[in-house]
Amino acid sequence: MKGRLAPWLAAPGVLYLAVLFVGPAAVILAFSFCERDLAGGVRPAFSWTAWQMAMDSLTLRVICRTVSLSAVVTALDLLLAYPCAAKLAAMPRRLRGLFVLMISFPLVTSLLLRTYGWLNLLPLDWRGTLAGVALVLAFNYLPFMLLPLLRAYERADETLALAALDLGATPMQAFWHVTLPLTLPGAISGAALVFIPVSGEYLIPHFIGEGKVNVAGTLVMEWFGHRHWPYAAACATWLAAIVLVPLAGSMLWSIEEPTTKNQNPRTDDA
């Protein structure tokens, strides 16, 4: 009975994705092969012009900058989140819950408000620089890395790392050979949650970059504003490809790797 109901239970999610993701993505892809209408929009005539522009050196440089920026922000968040997650996991449950609430609270505020706040915090020399944009992106998306990693720490059996230390392993060896494999699923989930939205980010590069940092999100908005819809659609297709690669990798990893449900949950103090 459950096997028969499973496809029907998945139907609402599949329909949601088909209508609100696959459908608009297909429209954008179709626009990229149309001719430009100078008055705005596209003309229903086949043309390779937009993709010729999207494959030139300038566009590919922006795409490479976007991928590099997303990778750097993801790596920075990963380095910051690991020690934070380890410390939080060692806390009593109530105190840990309080800290998780404090970490998650900025997510309920508007990204635009947080970006304007960073405009007042950043030194003037950091505005309009790629480093300044990367710093603000890293701190804004840190909770998306920290929370899955914390959950992985909570599900891991802490006695395994303690046993490795008792057997003569150094703390670094215990981390690399015991803790890291146990928490790797959480790290991969967090990396996908950070890399994907950062690659399409527009507000932070626009305001913190002050028009000097051009990434895929700002490029798409700029050319839609210039009424060159086919080229903007081609750039948006590039952006979708960037997003789908880590998403597909994360899904394949979750399918191939064994689950950790059989691991002993962390015991916490009241």
Position 264 scores a pLDDT of 46
The C-alpha atoms of residue 241 and residue 169 are separated, in whole angstroms, by 42
* 109 has a pLDDT exceeding 80: yes
* 18 has a pLDDT exceeding 90: no
What dihedral do alpha carbons 187, 188, 189, 193 form, nearest 10°?
100
251 HSE (CA, 13 A, CB side): 6
pLDDT in tens, 206-238: 999 988 999 998 999 888 888 888 999 999 898
pTM: 0.82
Which of helix, strand or coil describes residue 206?
helix
List the alpha helices (DSSP H) in the chain: 2-17, 23-31, 49-54, 57-89, 93-104, 111-121, 130-155, 158-166, 171-174, 180-199, 203-209, 216-225, 229-256
Query: How do the domains of the chain map onto residue ranges?
Result: 56-256
* pLDDT range class, residue 263, cuts 50, 70, 90: very low
Q: Give the residue-averaged pLDDT of 168-193.
A: 89
User: Which of 68-72, 120-124, 168-172, 247-251 has the largest mean confidence?
Assistant: 68-72
In CATH terms, is domain 56-256 a member of 1.10.357.140? Answer: no
